[in-house]
Amino acid sequence: MNHVSRFKCSIIFLQRPCFSSMTTTECRTRPSALSNNHVDIVNDFTNYCYQKDLSKAMQELDNMQKHKLWADAITYTELIKCCIAHGAIKQGKQVYQHVFSNGYEPKTFLINTLLNMFVKFNLLDEAQSLFDQMLERNVVSWTTMISAYANSEINYKALEMLIMMLREGVRPNMYTYSSVLRACEGISNLKQVHCSIIKSGLELDVFVRSALIDIYSKWGELNSALYLFNEMQTSDLVVWNSIIGGFAQNNDGDEALNLFIRMKRFGFRSDQSTLTSVLRACTSLALLELGRQVHVHVIKFKRDLVLNNALLDMYCKCGSLEDADVIFTRMVVKDVISWSTMIIGFAQNGYSRKALSLFETMKKASGTKPNHITILGVLFACSHAGLVKDGEYYFKSMKMLFGIDPGREHYGCMVDLLGRAGKIEEAMKLIQEMKCEPDAVTWRTLLGACRVHRKMDLAEYVAKKVLSLDPHDAGTYILLSNIYANTQRWDDVEDLRRSMKHVGIKKEPGCSWIEINKLVHAFILGGKGHPQVDAIYGELNQIIQRLKEEGYVPDTNFVLQDLEGEQMESSLAYHSEKLAIVFGMMSLPKEKTIRIRKNLRICGDCHVFAKLLAKMERRSIVIRDPIRYHHFQDGACSCGDYW
């Protein structure tokens, strides 16, 4: 090989150079036979790389390849970064081929940059091949590959790479462990990695500790996450965000809010990540007033899309569609999450036609492509408004129009739609035709329809299907018990309850919550624990008497016990939502909406009670159950009595 082909022109700069005044003496080596033209080619190439002019840099790269010239490693890294920024895969591969041609010996940091490029382009096979060829692999090389596999959810490979790294004597750093923690599958993996972190002395690193808290939270090990947090001698906002986010994501809104209060007392200022988690906590607890207070903090920040979506979700799930609509309308940038959140918000709050109208607007005006969550919201809107034809159209066309294969949730919505409409046989047929195996939720949905339409024989068959998949599902026992009770089969009710007792299943008591002056008050069926219980019961009895004078007749079909006459009415009278509504009337001014959250679906009698009371007292009442919202006003409900 001649001396020209072995020449490597290396130009080293302390600052960004002025290439127009560069001389050939700035080359690290320059054989005498090297022409000025060759130096100009390398200088031009270097200039274009630092100017991030990808097109001209690639032209000069071709020129250098023809003349068997090379630049220095730093210049190549600038070009590779430019390829990454432009998503230029083809050009990136050309740089790789050039660097490894004709005997050029790239430095380790340059190979790491190429490795990172392949990872960023999601070319894992090429990255692994390059990694295998490396003679010298440092912590950056290993961490790049571990992070690549973790991000691609090829978790076993990420863990294998960590083991190989340790065997080669390369010590992981905080970035290595932050990446590998994401690849942990289950508590066993997590604890093994945690032990390795302790041995390395990196457990107190802020980023590692934050990653540990995140992953323990992901696996529902909130006590372990909180222990890690509490034992830290000093805290960092990143760690506060991790622990608050962990509890918020696991629907423990109370603890998330308590931690937020602790954080404020310690003098930490919130950022967008903090507020996003706190909004999620308010959402899970349906605390609208507290959510509005958090919104005040949000206004101080330049809101990003994630924070706007969190606000939107909070208002939708707290039943304040007016506030949600204002946020949505003012959002300059909307993504598929924004549109889906608003569509589902309308559907859950009983405004199905608005949900479908917004979906059509999304398709025609926004250019945003719906995803499987969007379609789920559309089908939910159809199922909760009896829009059978619309639901069937969207379900049948989702693959053809949007390239989305129906999943269990979509089938579940269709089973719910058909079941609510009384098309039980069609719903059963759809389950049998499912391309994926029906789960307990799907069968339970059909069981609910059987109860509404009194399909006794099928109900017993479906209940057995549910219990074969989920033997300890209390909801199925309760549903079947309700079906027996509705048909006066009290002996079967007792047998079922004995079976529940035998296997240790307890019925969850009905519970309702209402927020008054920043305090949350809880009520249970027939509960006596509230400090104002006597006044509440007295007011409730008077209201029931006045409603009866207006034509209210307690619907004893919703009494699920073998009781007589007045006992049946008494059992209905003290449902938790009735107690919460009455306390709201006693505590809130008339113009204030009474907002109730409950753990079980509202019964038909309480639904009638709320409608008549809203009309008689000229009050606005909102009740959120596990499925949807009911907005009561002027003697009507937003669900149109179809729930």
How far CA 598 is from CA of 46, 111, 457, 508, 613, in Å, comes to 67, 58, 31, 12, 18
Of 154, 65, 80, 159, residue with least CA distance to 120: 80
Q: So what's the pLDDT on residue 30?
A: 39
Q: Is the dihedral of CA 243, 244, 249, 251 positive or negative?
A: positive
pLDDT above 50 for 74: yes
Average pLDDT value over all residues in the chain: 86
How far apart are alpha carbons 240 and 469 in whole angstroms? Answer: 39
Beta bridge partners of 598: 512
pLDDT in the model for residue 485: 79
For residue 570, what pLDDT is reported? 60
pLDDT digits (tens, 9 = 90+) for 183-231: 988 888 898 899 999 988 888 888 888 899 999 998 889 999 999 898 8
571 pLDDT band, cuts 50/70/90, is low
Q: Is 83 exposed, middle or buried (0-12, 13-18, 19+ CB in 10 A)?
A: buried
pLDDT at position 94 over 90: yes
pLDDT for 247: 94
With bands split at pLDDT 50, 70 and 90, how would you rate the model's confidence at 233?
A: low
What H or E segment, with its residue span, contains residue 637?
Answer: strand 636-637
Give CA 105 to chain center in angstroms. Answer: 46
Q: What pLDDT sits at residue 556?
A: 61
Amino acid at 61: L
| Mean pLDDT to the nearest integer, 140-161 | 93
Chain centroid offset of residue 375 CA: 16
Range name among 158-162, 301-305, 459-463 with the lowest pLDDT average: 301-305
447-466 mean pLDDT: 87
- pLDDT higher for 341 or 290? 341
Span 506-520, average pLDDT:
86
What pTM value is reported for the model?
Answer: 0.75
| pLDDT the model gives residue 40 | 86
- Is the pLDDT assigned to residue 357 strictly greater than 90? yes
Q: Has residue 348 got a pLDDT over 70?
A: yes
- Give SS3 for 1: coil
Task: Give per-residue pLDDT as tens, 107-147.
Answer: 899 999 999 999 999 999 999 999 999 989 999 999 999 99
> What is the predicted pLDDT for the residue at 23?
33
Please compute the mean of the pLDDT values over residues 385-396 and round it to a whole number: 94
What is the pLDDT at residue 49?
A: 92
Query: Looking at residue 297, what is its pLDDT?
Result: 84
Tell me which DSSP letter residue 632 carries: E
Encoded tokens for 193 = 């990695």
What span, in angstroms and rounded, lies between the C-alpha atoms of 116 and 91? 15
Length of the chain: 643
* In contact, 216 and 225? CB cutoff 8 Å: yes
Angle at CA of residue 106, ends 101 and 111, nearest 5°:
105
Tokens of 31: 């054989």
Rounded CA separation 42/521 (Å):
75
Q: What is the DSSP string of 590-611?
A: TTSPEEEEESSPPPHHHHHHHH
* Contact (Cβ atoms closer than 8 angstroms) between residue 582 and residue 539: yes
Q: Is the pLDDT of residue 34 over 80?
A: no
Distance CA 21, CA 481 (A): 89
- How would DSSP label each residue in 322-369? HHHHHHHHH-SS--HHHHHHHHHHHHHTT-HHHHHHHHHHIIIII-PP
146: Cβ contacts below 8 Å, ≥ 6 apart: 158, 161, 162, 165, 176, 179, 180, 183
Taking the C-alpha atoms of residue 23 and residue 13, their distance in angstroms, rounded to an integer, is 13
Q: Tell me the Ramachandran region of residue 177: left when phi exceeds 0, alpha when psi lies from -120 to 50, beta otherwise.
A: alpha
pLDDT score, position 7: 31
Q: How confident is the model at residue 4 (pLDDT cuts 50, 70, 90)?
A: very low
